[in-house]
Amino acid sequence: MDGKFPQILLGETMDWIKQIELKAYSNWIDQNIAPEEAIGNCALWVRVMRQAFPELKIVVGAVKHEWCNSAYHEWLSTNNGEIIDPTRSQFDMLFGRNWMYV
């Protein structure tokens, strides 16, 4: 062996680290934001969560459902582009799973 990590092991390690990070974000949301607190409070919770996880970036955009206009929304993003949305539950409650970020 030449002292270098085999690429497959490095990739698996990075995937494992990514899963731990995503779980930490999910746990924080579950422990800090009740579903009823999410409604209409995306800007507040995005900033509170970013204080806890400064590596996340704030994204300003909108959400859209097939039968309504798009609505202003803010969420967070990882360096890899994974969406971390502390107030996602409000849209799941309103629209089910049939909505998207725009």
- d(CA 69, CA 63) in angstroms, rounded, equals 9
In a domain, 45, yes or no: yes
Answer whether residue 2 is part of any domain: no
pLDDT at 17: 78
Residue 6: DSSP 8-state: P
Q: Let me know if residue 68 belongs to a domain.
A: yes
Q: What is the pLDDT along the chain (102 residues), one digit of tens a residue?
A: 455 545 554 556 667 778 888 999 999 999 999 989 999 999 999 999 999 999 999 999 999 987 777 889 999 999 989 999 999 999 888 787 778 898
Task: Give a yes or no: residue 66 inside a domain.
Answer: yes
Within a domain: residue 1? no
The predicted structure's pLDDT at residue 4: 55
Domain count, the chain: 1
- Give long-range contacts, CB 8 A cutoff, 24+ apart: 64-72: 64/99, 64/100, 64/102, 65/91, 65/94, 65/95, 65/98, 65/99, 66/98, 70/102
Residue 87 within any structural domain of the chain: yes
Residue 51: predicted pLDDT: 98
Provide the domain limits for residue 78.
7-101
Q: Do the domain assignments include residue 55?
A: yes
